[in-house]
Amino acid sequence: MAEIKVDVRGETCPVPLVEVRKALRKASPGDVVEVVGTHPASKREIPMAVKALGLELLTDQGSDTDWTIRIRR
């Protein structure tokens, strides 16, 4: 199992979601993608996308402007 880190601090929509989707495509089943960001809308959009893709949201922590989301592929 690998851990893939995606740092999208300072980026605004749609960049964070696009980068997360790229990382998830590269990830193997069981891998964890950790996303660190600062954009409030992306903090809401990424968990919705994870659910729509049928993946596991491990954690969604932090404030709207400084957050970390962990996803299991």
Q: What is the set of active-site residues?
A: 13
Phi/psi of residue 40, each to 5°?
-60, -45
Relative orientation angle of helices 15-26 and 40-52, to the nearest 10 degrees: 40
Residue 55's nearest CA partner among 47, 63, 67 is 47
The neighbouring-strand residues paired with 66 are 63
Residue 27 DSSP label: P
